[in-house]
Amino acid sequence: MTSDKIEVQTIMFDMWSDNELIDMGVHLPLPLNGLIYWDKFSLSANDLDFTSATENYNSGANLEPEYLAWSADGKKLYVNLQENSALITIDVESASVVAIDA
């Protein structure tokens, strides 16, 4: 019995700003401007402290990968961002993001 070695790599989706993602048609459930607005004007926000959330905000945290699919040749990985109505394409060999499409 032989075992294949599996290499796992983490790929971050933090290379885009909120404005870039929105301009590309990617849906963001709560972009930074929305979070700041909510903090200032929500009646329930008086009981909540959004300081840490706004200071540590990262656009990539709004991207929600749900499903994966491999290309037929195994060279690309497609990541469905269902809540964002978008798809990320990853080059498997370089372990890098090739594109995001709304």
DSSP string, 1-34: --------------SS-HHHHHHTT---SS-HHH
Give pLDDT, residue 1: 55
Give pLDDT, residue 46: 63
Give pLDDT, residue 3: 67
How many angstroms separate the CA atoms of 100 and 23, rounded? 12
Q: Read off the pLDDT of residues 58-94 as tens digits, 9 standing for 90 and up.
A: 999 899 999 999 999 999 999 999 999 999 999 999 9
Q: Read off the pLDDT of residues 2-57 as tens digits, 9 standing for 90 and up.
A: 668 888 889 999 999 999 999 999 999 999 999 888 888 877 656 777 888 889 99
Residues contacting residue 91 through CB under 8 Å, at least 6 positions apart? 75, 76, 97, 98
Q: What is the pTM of this model?
A: 0.81
